[in-house]
Structure 1
Amino acid sequence: MADRLRHLSGSGRYAFRNVRLRCSLGTKLRLQPSGQLSHDEDGSFLGSGDFWFQTITTLADLGRVLERFRASRTQTVETTVLARDLREHFDVVAELHREYSGERRPTSTVMGVADLALPDQLVEIGPVVRLDLPQ
């Protein structure tokens, strides 16, 4: 388990700078990356105006973060999704979240927001992952 927690900063521009760890007492180790958004490995924003593309790219980024810590989607116990124009995009969020999560779906809070960090950003997703659960 300790090996998963080493070298948190990664390397290069895509250095997992948005990852933080929370460890609780006992045997439960939690990985809680900051909310992720649609970007490439150089940190450039992707998918301006395309909610579906931004969501797919954001989920792929979450997958890379989990791989970095040798964790899997099945260890995700909770997600928070922030979405602009939620009423318009709720079905997309629900469908893609279901596809990403598979059989073992985490609890999820989906909130509509007026704005996000970047002007063209339409979605942000943040997970809570239990590293002590089986993969």
Structure 2
Amino acid sequence: MSIDFSKAAGVHDDALRLRAERTKVLASNIANVSTPGYQARDVDFAASLRSALGDDASGGGSGDGFGGGLALDTGAEDTLYRVPYHPSQDGNTVELGVEQAAFAQNALDFQTSLTFVTMKLKGVAKAIAGQ
């Protein structure tokens, strides 16, 4: 009898992968805070997770509580452009405080999923050891 570790981790396997991808997008936004014309992007985590899990149920626009909201980027499946509270004169839509807050929240959510995976794997290890 074999153990399927992807099932042992549950939804957290996909959540960790998506959080890592969102970290890259948010870091790119922060790195381009002074780039004229740069459009801040974000990932619709809920839609991406539904897609990763194979759930075809359509959800409304996400809106992560940061910025003026998110607008669909037709170039990528679940990547969205962030609508700024205060657009700049040079066309850059990155607002450093908004991006830092989103980055920090994403890091906390990543750590939470990682903790769940660790706990589940410890439980599997105990089951294998017969404890």
Bigger radius of gyration among the two:
2
Q: Structure 1 or 2: larger helix share? A: 2
